[in-house]
Amino acid sequence: MPVKTEEAAMKMKTLFDNSLFEEFMGQALEKFEQHLKNEGIKQNPLEQRMRGAREFAVFLLGRGHRKGERTKGRI
């Protein structure tokens, strides 16, 4: 039975290691930022929301940050 669990874990890992998923996440972040701008969100809250969204995207890609590491930027 553990073999099936390991196989499922490997399939999941390869799914998220895919560069297509990374590209999708980048495009989704751009659309989310545009959505926030269209909603009239002010600059500081917009930057904070985008930072959180980027951190979550990086986490989904398996590249989470360490405590105290600078997280501002793009994926």
> What proportions of the chain, in percent to the nearest 5, are helix, strand and coil?
70, 0, 30
Contact 36, 29 (CB under 8 A): no
Q: pLDDT tier at 1 (50, 70, 90 boundaries)?
A: very low
Residue 59's pLDDT is: 84
Residue 66's pLDDT is: 67
Query: Is residue 70 classed as helix, strand or coil in its secondary structure?
Result: coil
- The structure's pTM equals 0.62
Q: What is the mean pLDDT of residues 38-62?
A: 90
The structural domains of the chain, with segments of one domain joined by +, span 2-60
